[in-house]
A and B are shown apart, each in its own frame.
Chain A
């Protein structure tokens, strides 16, 4: 067997892909914080999270679904 295919060789590739995935999450979440920051500037056309969630929660079904989503997050991260 080729020793280069076993052992410490592949983890370099594994780590880089894992890092890429983490960077993707960090970038998206950072973008959301940036959007929230921009939304809070005076005269901004971008709604804040609270505004667009409030808009989605105007109909009863939207309210129920958003609250269910909130509860699911708690169950997913704290009960499992």
Chain B
């Protein structure tokens, strides 16, 4: 058609057909999708490795080393931390974290007997299915990335 070479007006969002207003965003989206796929595959493979093996240790070491290198060598833009915390508000967190540690410590002190299981004793059976363990590994990696950004 003769109108092919006529530039059409942008829509109400400012988008022009076949001409992305922010070409970088599409590239970022592609990069994010690629990273997501790599992480999902990595978590799936890591979830299949038997525990107490060298491979399991390596599978946990790799994300730690990669994130440490990124944090040290190429730190991402960090989310600004607050200059100070509200003491009263923080106090509630201190109570909750202390309670968790106390409960865990009492279980550990009792040698994790069946009648007083530690958090590890409770979580380990849940991590038995491959998909759950892989999802947990993926979550762990994402938490690590969130910490690097802090």
Contact = CB atoms under 8 A, between A and B. Distances in A.
Interface in B86-129: 86, 88-90, 92-93, 96-97, 99-100, 103, 107, 114-117, 119-120, 122-124, 127
A26 to B, nearest CB: 10
Classify chain A's interface size: 35 or more
A70 to B, nearest CB: 5
Nearest to A66: B147
B56 A47 contact: no
Classify chain B's interface size: 35 or more
Contact of B120 (A17, A58, A76): A76
Interface of A: 13-14, 17-18, 21-22, 24-25, 28-29, 31-32, 35, 39, 44-47, 49-55, 57-58, 63, 66-67, 70-71, 73-80
Consensus secondary structure, chain B interface: helix
Consensus secondary structure, chain A interface: helix
Given A67-B68, A78-B133, A14 B82 contact: no
A80 to B, nearest CB: 6
